[in-house]
Amino acid sequence: MADKRSEHEKRSEAGRKGGESVSHEQHQKAGQMAHEKGTAHEFTSEEAREAGSKGGQTAHEKGTAHEFTSEEARKAGSKGGQAAHDEKKKS
C-alpha cells in the first residue's frame, strides 16, 4: 500500500522520531513548492490562533517573548480599534 502522506508530513514525522534531519532552508523550500503546486495546507482561523498561542507559550517558557510596555500596548490597542472601525466603514 502506497504512503499517501506528503513529503512534508514524512519529513516532519522523521524529525519527531529522531530520524532524518531537515534544515530550515529545506523546510522552507518544501513549503514553497507545496504552495506553488496548490497542495499546501490552508490554516483556518482557529488553527492559526492555536499555532500562534503555542508559539507564544513556548517563547514565554524560553524567556524570548516580547514583553509589551504599557505605551506599546496602548498603541497596539488603538491600531486594532482603528482597523476595526475602518473595516466597518467599508461595509
pLDDT for 46 equals: 93
Query: Mapping DSSP to helix (H, G, I), strand (E, B) and coil, where does residue 86 land?
Result: helix
The proportion of the chain whose per-residue pLDDT surpasses 70, expressed as a percent, equals 74
20-63 confidence digits (pLDDT tens): 567 878 878 888 888 888 888 888 999 999 999 999 999 999 99
Domain ranges of the chain: 43-91
Q: Give the CA distances from residue 75 to residues 30, 64, 81, 89, in Å, rounded to whole numbers and listed in that order.
A: 37, 22, 10, 21
pLDDT for 7 equals: 67
Could you tell me the pTM of the whole model? 0.41
Residue 17 has pLDDT above 60, yes or no: no
Q: What is the mean pLDDT of the chain?
A: 81
